[in-house]
Structure 1
Amino acid sequence: MTMDKTFNAAEAEARIAALWEERGAFKAGANASRDASFSVMIPPPNVTGSLHMGHAFNNTLQDILVRWHRMRGFDTLWQPGQDHAGIATQMVVERELAKDKSNATRREMGREAFTRKIWEWKAQSGGTIIGQLQRLGCSLDWSRNAFTMSGAPGAPAGEEGNFHDAVIKVFVDLYNKGYIYRGQRLVNWDPHFETAISDLEVENTEVAGHMWHFKYPLANGATYEYVERDEDGRVTKRETRNYISIATTRPETMLGDGAVAVHPSDERYKPIVGMLCEIPVGPKEHRRLIPIITDEYPDPSFGSGAVKITGAHDFNDYAVAKRNNIPLYNLMDTKARMRADGLSYEESAQIAGAIARGEREAGDVSQINLVPEELRGLDRYDARKAVVEAINAEGLAVTYLKKSIDPETKAEDLTREPLVEDKPIMQPFGDRSKVVIEPFLTWQWFVDTSKIVGPALDAVRKGCAAERDGTFDPQAGYTRILPESGEKVYYHWLENIEPWCISRQLWWGHQIPVW
């Protein structure tokens, strides 16, 4: 037998993998010579894609552990599987359909027909990752390969299994134990896919932005002495004001403001805390008043030190609103257009005003639509432009003196211009849709993570303590974090964990068993 001059990896990998598969070398129980068992569930890669360096790294580590236990005679199982990847798969199939203009869109064909298209695509293209793992030599028991949508209603022949039933069972069990609940909270909302997404699916990117400065007039023409001081307490500015100024990067959300907040220590605004001020946008005859409150969130050294609180459209504002019982007024629909449903603007403004004055309880405010009729249905950015133009036209923008020189006469001219700062801002984008994510108040299903982090915290606290005093026992079920500097990060993350949104508004995926 002559040796080939060059090594043909493609031929060798396929031949060796087929031989291993034929001999059942990686099946559960192969080479078992003791009662002890060892199993690993592969973190299932997405069915849509192909392996990347992260997969190669973590699968190599798993393979080392699995082979080591198998060679020592453990009853060993490395369970393979693929994730149905709701958003990514739906996006891929929609793109494939769009390549042929004769195809109906997802919404035109309906959910049942669309999911059939996805199953067809999965049958044609879903094996890429399996083939890559096999060529890498990963010692998974391929006779047990699973798919997270196997056994789902409408699954075609060859996609039998119990994953669908298992997901439903676990959901119901966790719900009955109080770990899962339905609630209304602020979530990351993708206006392109019209679904909630997780923090991990959001890419925060620095982009060129603007900071607009506006005046919120005090109710009933009230005035106060506004005084600024330097670090030594000397007065650097004193003037009588009939407004409080705020700065915002998102003027369109001003329509949903529930309050203006200042820091309790900010002496500049103490005379007006508890007073009402006017949101400087919307029909003048129905202009809405909101309270000026104190909260630890505003930074007195940043901007004017006063911040508008729009609890339904900003995560920090949401926390302030919840602490201070400020109503959450939703302004947008699922496509990030200004709402066109609910009560008229006049009726909405009257009810919201009564709530702000303490004349009625907030209760359910979902029907209150504080978008003026002329802005309803507009895209959020078109609404932003309209809001800025209206405020400028009314003279309620904070202004500055702009000096210009006539190029012919060289004469100086001073004019007052609206104060708009050009500045970089961090903006959230959907990692797949690439559109700007909107903080959105909606009903979703959540895992009450605060109820499940206790054992994880205890395991590390006890493990790290035992490591330091020299009594660590790997059989005790404790965990060490190395290097020790990682402990603080771990504790901070789990001790401040937020409820985890687990529901999505997608057609491809498990349906929540709420019937």
Structure 2
Amino acid sequence: MPLEKTFDAISAENRLYDAWEKAGCFKAGANASRQETFCIMIPPPNVTGALHVGHAFNNTLQDILTRWHRMRGFDTLWQPGQDHAGIATQLQVEKMLAEQGNVGRRDLGREKFLEKVWEWKGEYGGTIINQLKRLGSSCDWSRNAFTMAGAPGDPRIGHENSPNFHDAVLKVFVDMYQKGLIYRGKRLVNWDPHFETAISDLEVENIEVDGHMWHFKYPLQDGETYTYIEKDEDGNVILEEVRDYISIATTRPETMLGDGAVAVHPDDARYAPIVGKMCEIPVGPKAHRRLIPIITDDYPDPDFGSGAVKITGAHDANDYQVAKRGNIPMYRLMDTRGIMRGDGVAYGDEVAKAQSLASGGAFTEAEVDAINLVPEEYRDLDRFEARKRVVADIDGEGLMIMVEDKPIMQPFGDRSGVVIEPMLTDQWFVDTAKIVGPALDAVRDGRTKIVPESGEKVYYHWLENIEPWCISRQLWWGHQIPVWFDEDGNQYCAASEAEAQAMAGADKTLTRDPDVLDTWFSSGLWPIGTLGWPEHTEALKKYHSTDVLVTGQDIL
């Protein structure tokens, strides 16, 4: 048979790959001639994804290792699959609906919208699978898994043989909840006002932009004065004057409305005479100006700005920590869209409640969250429009010292492109500090090796200083949190509504938590869920634990 004059790579590659698949060359156990097993779990790419050079490099390394072990007779499995990619997939489907002129997600309702997502997944979710095949990846595609397999509405397209991942996810959540490892609480999170959901640190891009630093006067209570003394490095007095205010610098004036205190460093002698005094937030109706205490904390840097920092615990990560240490009320100023709150009673009444707390009154998180400290003239404004008006109003009273034009680091949502708002919200958390011990011990004892060894220091620092993990997202596409509430707010955690109702009693009306789980909660089960856990399958017995992780250090 004569050779063709030109080689058609596309047809040849497709023909050969199809022949390999039909012959079962890549199936688990193919060519096995010895008892040893070798298993790699493909880091599941997003179902919305397309192959990029990172995937090509990563999967080539996995393919080399897999083929090498398969050729030597190992019982080999390279497990493929895709991640349901909660926020990314929801974004793609919402874009599709808009382009087609259909009604939006909220008009469709949750059930109908999820039907559209499953339809989209069936039509477009195989893109990256076909690209990996074109690359020559020798995965066992008959076992292709999906992190939403088995969830309500799953039509089983593209992951026909995938184990029921949904059951595995619910089982782990319920088990961890019952052990006290999962709880619902109010903490500061990265809030995306476009998607109206919490997002992870990895989904935030900090970008340097042109910004401003405003310096304002916070007048002391009843016109009290003190002698402000500034010294140089040698202790020589370079400024001495009588002041009736403390100077505060901020890049976000709209958040002043939620200040709970002003903090200075305990060793900063300039402010020693006024520690424990009260100062006035210089914005809002004059008849209802709010007083807040001047406190000490190690957080303020005496050499940065004025050395005095306003503490707005509900809208800044550092302030949140100071507020927690000092038991300072944290007032939320915005709604889920980044709009200044418009709820609550008259501003004067809200200020009266807050003032009693500033004077030492007892409070609960729920009581503080209900207080809206946005004056009527700023309510229902976009946060950036409110900023302009706050600055103009303070300047109009002669309480603005100066404004600096300077570059600032601004957090943006990596998919929405909008400015992220640190927000104090009710979320579900994993108490990670209680569960990292075995992971630390595994590396310390040498049972798990990190290559290169320099990565160990990062690993230890991360786990030894770990924060609670926010696992809830205010989305519709994902594993819905298996917790139901009765009219009194009592929680019932169960794998099904019937079980939750049995726990609550027939006389209780239950409502399910609308949030879904962070994609990483299900992805974390990838090595066992793909092998059929929680069922005790032969595949689980044979291929777990797996042998190699080929992944980026950000994933590790």
Normalising by structure 2, we get a TM-score of: 0.84
Using the alignment, how far apart are the partners of 1:446 and 1:52 within structure 2? 33
2:499 is the counterpart of 1:496: no
2:100 is the counterpart of 1:100: yes
Larger mean Cα displacement after TM superposition, 433-442 or 164-173 = 164-173
Q: Which runs of 5+ in 1 are unaligned?
A: 399-418, 464-476
- Choose the corresponding residue for 1:274, options 273, 276, 279: 276
Code of the aligned partner of 2:449:
T
Using the alignment, how far apart are the partners of 1:163 and 1:297 within structure 2? 44
- Choose the corresponding residue for 2:399, options 376, 393, 396: 396
Using the alignment, how far apart are the partners of 1:482 and 1:89 within structure 2? 34
Q: Which residue of 2 aligns with 1:322?
A: 324
Code of the aligned partner of 2:405:
D
Q: Alpha carbons of 1:238 and 1:456: their partners in 2 closer, same or farther (altered >3 Å)? A: same
- Choose the corresponding residue for 1:291, options 286, 293, 300: 293
Using the alignment, how far apart are the partners of 2:195 and 2:424 within structure 1? 16
Larger mean Cα displacement after TM superposition, 31-40 or 122-131 = 31-40
Using the alignment, how far apart are the partners of 2:133 and 2:127 within structure 1? 10
Using the alignment, how far apart are the partners of 1:135 and 1:173 within structure 2? 41
Using the alignment, how far apart are the partners of 2:7 and 2:435 within structure 1? 52
Contact 1:449–1:498 (8 Å) recurs in 2? yes
Alignment of 1:49-68 (within 5 A): 49-68=49-68
Using the alignment, how far apart are the partners of 1:504 and 1:480 within structure 2? 31
Deviation at 1:395, TM superposition (A): 1.3
Q: Which residue of 1 aligns with 2:413?
A: 430
Q: Which residue of 2 aligns with 1:19?
A: 19
Contact 2:82–2:145 (8 Å) recurs in 1? yes
Larger mean Cα displacement after TM superposition, 244-253 or 69-78 = 69-78
Deviation at 1:503, TM superposition (A): 1.1
Q: Alpha carbons of 1:343 and 1:22: their partners in 2 closer, same or farther (altered >3 Å)? A: same
Using the alignment, how far apart are the partners of 1:350 and 1:278 within structure 2? 14
Using the alignment, how far apart are the partners of 2:457 and 2:164 within structure 1? 40
Q: Which residue of 1 aligns with 2:360?
A: 358
Using the alignment, how far apart are the partners of 2:10 and 2:355 within structure 1? 72
Question: Deviation digits for residues 87-112 of structure 1, max 9, x if unmatched?
Answer: 111111111121233x1111111111
Deviation at 1:157, TM superposition (A): 5.3
What is the total number of aligned residue pairs between the two structures? 480
Identity in percent: 73
For residue 445 of structure 2, give the secondary structure of its aligned residue in structure 1.
helix
Deviation at 1:245, TM superposition (A): 0.5
Deviation at 1:438, TM superposition (A): 0.5
Using the alignment, how far apart are the partners of 1:213 and 1:255 within structure 2? 15
Q: Alpha carbons of 1:361 and 1:441: their partners in 2 closer, same or farther (altered >3 Å)? A: closer
Q: Which residue of 2 aligns with 1:456?
A: 439
Using the alignment, how far apart are the partners of 2:393 and 2:98 within structure 1? 40
Deviation at 1:492, TM superposition (A): 1.9
For residue 366 of structure 1, give the secondary structure of its aligned residue in structure 2.
helix
Q: Alpha carbons of 1:44 and 1:480: their partners in 2 closer, same or farther (altered >3 Å)? A: closer
Code of the aligned partner of 2:412:
F
Using the alignment, how far apart are the partners of 1:387 and 1:300 within structure 2? 26
Q: Which residue of 2 aligns with 1:115?
A: 114
Using the alignment, how far apart are the partners of 2:361 and 2:458 within structure 1? 46
Using the alignment, how far apart are the partners of 2:6 and 2:433 within structure 1? 58
Contact 2:261–2:295 (8 Å) recurs in 1? yes
Deviation at 1:480, TM superposition (A): 4.4
Q: Which residue of 1 aligns with 2:474?
A: 505
Q: Which runs of 5+ in 2 are unaligned?
A: 485-556
Using the alignment, how far apart are the partners of 1:176 and 1:36 within structure 2? 38
For residue 182 of structure 1, give the secondary structure of its aligned residue in structure 2.
strand
Using the alignment, how far apart are the partners of 2:409 and 2:365 within structure 1? 34
Contact 2:151–2:166 (8 Å) recurs in 1? yes
Q: Alpha carbons of 1:499 and 1:362: their partners in 2 closer, same or farther (altered >3 Å)? A: closer
Deviation at 1:345, TM superposition (A): 1.6
Q: Alpha carbons of 1:285 and 1:360: their partners in 2 closer, same or farther (altered >3 Å)? A: farther
For residue 4 of structure 2, give the secondary structure of its aligned residue in structure 1.
coil
Code of the aligned partner of 1:358:
G
Q: Which residue of 2 aligns with 1:231?
A: 233
Q: Which residue of 2 aligns with 1:466?
A: none
Deviation at 1:500, TM superposition (A): 1.5
Q: Alpha carbons of 1:27 and 1:481: their partners in 2 closer, same or farther (altered >3 Å)? A: closer
Deviation at 1:450, TM superposition (A): 1.7
Deviation at 1:363, TM superposition (A): 5.0
Question: Deviation digits for residues 462-490 of structure 1, max 9, x if unmatched?
Answer: 33xxxxxxxxxxxxx23244254x43333
Larger mean Cα displacement after TM superposition, 55-64 or 135-144 = 55-64
Deviation at 1:445, TM superposition (A): 1.3
Contact 1:197–1:504 (8 Å) recurs in 2? yes
For residue 400 of structure 2, give the secondary structure of its aligned residue in structure 1.
coil
Contact 1:355–1:362 (8 Å) recurs in 2? no
Using the alignment, how far apart are the partners of 1:393 and 1:25 within structure 2? 77
Deviation at 1:501, TM superposition (A): 1.3
Deviation at 1:34, TM superposition (A): 2.4
Code of the aligned partner of 1:381:
F
- Choose the corresponding residue for 2:308, options 306, 309, 327: 306
Q: Which residue of 2 aligns with 1:514?
A: 483
Contact 1:31–1:73 (8 Å) recurs in 2? yes
Deviation at 1:17, TM superposition (A): 1.2
Using the alignment, how far apart are the partners of 2:37 and 2:176 within structure 1? 27
Q: Give the superposed CA RMSD.
A: 1.5
Using the alignment, how far apart are the partners of 1:125 and 1:494 within structure 2? 38
Q: Which residue of 2 aligns with 1:382?
A: 385
Using the alignment, how far apart are the partners of 1:307 and 1:456 within structure 2? 38
Alignment of 1:172-321 (within 5 A): 172-321=174-323
For residue 424 of structure 1, give the secondary structure of its aligned residue in structure 2.
strand
Deviation at 1:362, TM superposition (A): 5.0
Question: Deviation digits for residues 203-260 of structure 1, max 9, x if unmatched?
Answer: 0000000000000011121110000001111110000000001000000000000110
Contact 1:460–1:481 (8 Å) recurs in 2? no
For residue 180 of structure 2, give the secondary structure of its aligned residue in structure 1.
coil
Deviation at 1:32, TM superposition (A): 1.8
Deviation at 1:361, TM superposition (A): 3.6
Using the alignment, how far apart are the partners of 1:57 and 1:361 within structure 2? 55
Contact 2:118–2:153 (8 Å) recurs in 1? no
Deviation at 1:289, TM superposition (A): 0.6
Contact 2:38–2:69 (8 Å) recurs in 1? yes
Normalising by structure 1, we get a TM-score of: 0.90
Using the alignment, how far apart are the partners of 1:393 and 1:156 within structure 2? 62
Q: Which residue of 2 aligns with 1:478?
A: 448
Code of the aligned partner of 1:85:
A
Using the alignment, how far apart are the partners of 1:305 and 1:320 within structure 2? 15
Alignment of 1:134-145 (within 5 A): 134-145=133-144
Q: Which residue of 2 aligns with 1:421?
A: 404
For residue 33 of structure 1, give the secondary structure of its aligned residue in structure 2.
coil
Contact 1:253–1:313 (8 Å) recurs in 2? yes
Code of the aligned partner of 1:171:
F
Q: Which residue of 2 aligns with 1:405?
A: none
Question: Deviation digits for residues 335-384 of structure 1, max 9, x if unmatched?
Answer: 00001123432122111111111144455311111001121111000110
